[in-house]
Amino acid sequence: MAQSISIKLEGLFEDEFHKQLIRACYKYQPKSVAAALKKLSLEQFVELMETAILQSGCSPDHEMSDNDLKSFAGIYDQILRNAIMDVQELRSIIPKDIFITNSRVANELRHMSPNEEHTLTVGRKGSQLVEITTTINFNDKNIQFSGNASITPYDKIVHDAVCSLYSAGNDTFTPEMVYRAMNGMIESEFVSPKSIKMIVDSLEKLRITDISIDYTEQVRMTNPTDAFDAARVSGSMLMMQKVTVSTGGVTKWAYRLAASPIVYEYSKLIKQIIPIRLDLLNTKETTRSTDTVIIIRQYILQRVELMKNKKNNMNSRLISYDSIYELLNTPDDRKLRATIRSQTERLLDNYIGKEYIAGYEIVRRGRAITGVLIHLLEESAETGSAHPTDI
């Protein structure tokens, strides 16, 4: 039996180096390997082996003695034991609301180049502008981004979904849980491997992204009577570690959040958090949740919520297509932009059906479609339907 398991594990690798290490583990630590295979998935088993190789200093370029192999087996044994001990039964809590961080920092993340100080205006005190400074950097030299992009709109939505899960009581979560939170899905709904990979890529980026925010002047503006020297926060955008969980009888990787995310805590402190009803994220009746649709949907909800909040004094009810094209970094392609407009209209149709908005009108400048004018329920009840205008 042991021999057959060993052959099975050797079959996971094509190179002789890894096969040799597997044989050594089965020679020196057969019980821990067998126990791990009962608790861990093959994916986890392989990934943990790479961790052991890194810790041991083993290399395929050097011939290993029997003592070297025995030492590696001991290191791998301890890593497997720790992984088995760390397995916990995952019980997810579905959040009632999903939060959108709406602070200036949160909204400007996609425009921030790494390793540069960014100054953002957040208000005015008398004749003086009130500014905060923020920087982001990536603590992994192997991470590269195209152009000046750093944190994409999709990454921010993933970040906010994690914050929402954490706020609901989930300090441990799987990529599937994040995706379901982003799309208002119930716990049993299937998430495709492609979607899971996109979530994992985003989580890994957020995990190695450090951010610092100096909001001293902002606090002095809002709390002039408080005596303090400075208000600064810094750290990882998502301070997480990978852990092993058991859910539905299946063992898989998950993430454990060690602390409440910095951007979320900062946004909450200055009261710039927007709660969104979970059902508003589930729009499968009208359109499939591609990454583009997810971004458009979040933008629509953020804009409409700002319109609904009377404290904002936001008189404009226009959602400009130029702002959506810019958000998606859409090239000047007529067919592609027409698809985006169609997706936007289908989402708005969904929100009329859910009685979230009263309606909308297409806005044109000449023959060009430039945006949509939103009719809020409250305003329709008070004044009747608004008339379309060319803007």
Amino acid at position 191, single letter:
V
pLDDT at position 389 is 34
From CA 151, how far away is CA 112, in angstroms rounded?
8
List the structure tokens of 195: 């979607």
* pLDDT at residue 34, as a whole number: 80
Joined together, the tokens standing for residue 303 give 């804009």
Report yes or no: 175 and 196 within 8 Å, Cβ to Cβ: yes
Alpha helices for 97-192 (secondary structure H): 104-108, 153-167, 175-182
How many CA atoms does the CB half-sphere of 34 hold within 13 Å? 11
Domain boundaries, the chain: 2-85, 87-281, 283-391
Q: Whole-angstrom Cα distance, residue 207 to residue 162?
A: 12
Q: Which residues pair with 233 in a beta bridge?
A: 213
Q: CB atoms < 10 A from the CB of 258, how many?
A: 12
Tell whether the torsion through CA atoms of 164, 169, 174 and 176 is positive or negative: negative
Cα–Cα distance, 360 to 374 (Å, whole number): 5
DSSP codes joined into one string, 179-207: HHHHTT--TT----HHHHHHHHHHHHHHH
Q: How far is CA 327 from the centre of its chain?
A: 16
Q: Give the separation between CA 59 and CA 104, rounded to whole angstroms.
A: 48
* Residue ranges of the chain with per-residue pLDDT less than 50: 1-2, 146-148, 384-391
Instruction: Identify the pLDDT of residue 47.
Output: 81
Q: Which CATH number is 283-391 given?
A: 3.30.1370
Residue 337, both tokens? 């932009």
Give the pair of three-digit tokens for residue 165: 């899960």
